[in-house]
Amino acid sequence: MIINNDFTYHDLKIIILEEVDSTNTFAKKYPFKKDGLVLSSHQTAGKGRYQRSFYSPKDKGIYFSLVLHDLNLSAQLYTIIMGIAISKYIKNSHIKYLNDVLIGAKKVSGILCEGVIVGNKYQKMIIGAGINLFETEVPNELKDIMTFINDKDLNVTSFITNILDTFYELLKLDNNQIIENYKNLCSTLNKWVVIDAQNYYCLDISSEGHLICLDENKNQVKFSNAEVSFHPNK
């Protein structure tokens, strides 16, 4: 196990699991009485966005879900904040809108934020993040798109603590300040991208975290949570 079993963080209820299907699935079901963090270094059914799976090989990455109950922001902004916090501690990384932390063109971390709604109100928000740490064999279809931090001296416990510290610091900022931090790391800005097979130029990110683009006829279009690819030759 690459995380100390006695890991603590302020007042969070910490649950460390040797193996789990998905820390997000576990966190959704677990009856937390306060905010918490589910951590594992092996997921057998890690979930990505758009119903994809998130490859989570044993002891080669860190997979965690932060559970918050006192909710003041949208899932979009929690995703953005976690992206900034993670990218800050990964050398040479940048963020592809919305939530892919990349080194070069390859993904080193992804974030999946899921709300649990009871009645008509969010009861808790699960902010799940997977970070690829140590190089290992990966399935063929991931070879060109997945990368690892690959720093053998990385202290995983301090790495997670730093990410959480930054996450909570960012929570104290207003939306515009959060987005300013995000824009400094977001490599999608001022680039041509492809969204749903259409080309767009990325102009800006709104204070709610929406991507503001121009289409090829120079009409302004706003996306939230869109799946964005860099345009291959524009």
Q: How far is the CB of 48 from ligand BTN (least distance, A)?
A: 3
Structure tokens at 101: 């932390």
- Tokens linked to 119: 């009645």
Give the residue ranges of DSSP H helices in 56-103.
Answer: 75-88
Site for ligand BTN, residues 67 to 126, rule: CB under 6 A: 100, 110-112
Among 36, 46, 83, 209, binds ligand BTN (CB under 6 A): 46
- Could you say which of 9, 28, 48, 60 contacts ligand BTN (CB under 6 A)? 48
Q: How many CB atoms are located within 10 Å of the residue 54 CB?
A: 21
Residue 63 interacts with ligand BTN (CB under 6 A): yes or no: yes
**How far is 118 from 38, CA to CA, in rounded Å?**
21
Distance CA 205, CA 47 (A): 26
Minimal distance in Å, beta carbon 64 to ligand BTN? Answer: 6
- Residues contacting ligand BTN: total by CB under 6 A: 20
By beta carbon distance, the residue nearest ligand BTN is 110
Mutual orientation of helices 175-185 and 75-88 as an angle, nearest 10°?
50
Q: Which residues of this protein are in contact with ligand BTN, per CB under 6 A?
A: 22-24, 43, 46-49, 52, 54, 63-65, 100, 110-112, 128-130
